[in-house]
Amino acid sequence: MVAAHERVPVAKTYKIYIGGKFPRTESGRYFALEDKKGKVIANVCRSSRKDFRNAVVAARGAQPGWAKASAYLRGQILYRVAEMLEGRKEQFVHELTIQGSTERQAQREVDASIDRLIYYAGWADKYQQVFSAVNPVSSSHFNFSVLEPTGVVTILAPNDSGLIGLISNVAATIVGGNTTVVLASEERPLSAVSFAEVLHASDVPGGVVNILTGFRSELTEQFASHMDVNAVVYCDGGRKVAKTVQEAAADNIKPAISRRGVDWLSDAGASPYLIRDTQEVKTTWHPIGT
């Protein structure tokens, strides 16, 4: 209750993010997110398989254009995302706090998230040079290997982290020209939705990042099995989840990339090898002669 003379705050509707738009789940379902005391903080979209399929269509549509953007531009856009997040620090700290973090933890996580975006922005025009090669073949050919984005990557974001885990995985994936569909933390979904709003205000083309909220139990297998997805990243779960993801991934021989047990706040959560995980190596041969 708000006292009679006070202003009534406007509660935010947390929606999902597909193709640069903020729809509600097509299913109309929700789950209530509660704070420690059991008070409802927000009604969160319980996304359906259909939402997921729609998101894959959006991600596939955006992928060629995003991959064609210059590395410099992708770096600048990621930097822009960091700038936007810096400007909304208070909102994110607040959201993490109401989802269970202490003020200090929340502060640290938001700072680290901004820095993580800057870190990957800096890699945009460098990882290619680190991981590419000119190969000294014995025959008279010019032969070189470069990285190319694998395409559409699904991410089952870490459940125990509302922001830094999601941002680390998304940034490492899109900086290399992939597009992605992310399932946000089930326990802490609010920051993911607000992060979508940051992306939306940061020149990230619609469809490059698509963020769904919902139940792991309902969507994990779909994220792994979809035939128009090129790789799946999963960050939680025991052997059973790993088995489900890997088995489903085999439908179209997509790599299932396990990032379980990573401390995303630490430096271990930041590496160009995470970029490389969702890249393919393409080798080109051309004769040398007249």
For residue 99, the minimal CB distance to other proteins (Å) is: 30
Positive or negative, the CA dihedral 156, 123, 61, 22 is positive
Q: Does 143 bind other proteins (CB under 8 A)?
A: yes
Phi-psi region of 57 (alpha: psi -120 to 50; beta: other; left: phi over 0): alpha
For 172-210, b/e burial (b = at least 16 CB within 10 A) is bbbbbbbbbbbbbbbebbbbbbbbbbbbbebebbbbbbb
Q: Least Å distance between CB 177 and other proteins?
A: 12
Do residues 48 and 29 make contact, with C-beta atoms less than 8 angstroms apart?
yes
**Using the rule CB under 8 A, which residue among 137, 160, 187, 215 binds other proteins?**
137
Could you say whether residue 88 binds other proteins (CB under 8 A)? no
Smallest distance, Å, CB 249 to other proteins? 7
* Alpha carbon distance 17, 63 (integer Å): 16
> If binding is defined by CB under 8 A, does position 260 make contact with other proteins?
no
Give min distance, CB of 95 to other proteins, in A.
31
Instruction: By CB under 8 A, tell whether 150 contacts other proteins.
Output: yes
Between the alpha carbon of residue 114 and those of residues 79, 187, 222, 264, the distances in Å are 9, 22, 30, 13
- Closest CB 107 distance from other proteins, rounded Å: 26
Distance of alpha carbon 75 from alpha carbon 190, whole angstroms = 26
Residue with tokens 């792991």: 216
Q: Rank residues 100 and 255 by Cβ distance to other proteins and give the closer one.
A: 255
Measured from the CB of residue 73, what is the shortest distance to other proteins in angstroms? Answer: 17
Query: Site for other proteins (CB under 8 A): which residue of 35, 187, 251, 263?
Result: 251
First and final C-alpha spacing in the chain:
83
Written as one string, the DSSP assignment of 176-202 is TT-EEEEEPPSSS-HHHHHHHHHHHTT
Of the two residues 84 and 245, which places its CB atom closer to other proteins in the complex?
Answer: 245
Q: Least separation, in Å, of the C-beta of 130 and other proteins? A: 6
Is 102 or 145 the residue whose CB approaches other proteins more closely?
A: 145
Residues 169-228 that bind other proteins (CB under 8 A): none
Q: Which of 57, 69, 71, 242 binds other proteins (CB under 8 A)?
A: 242
The correct pick among 9, 28, 38, 287 for binding other proteins (CB under 8 A) is: 287
- For 166, what's the count of Cα atoms within 13 Å in the CB-facing half-sphere? 29
Residues near other proteins (CB under 8 A)? 130, 133, 135-139, 141, 143, 145, 148, 150, 230, 239-240, 242-247, 249-253, 255-256, 268, 271-273, 280-287
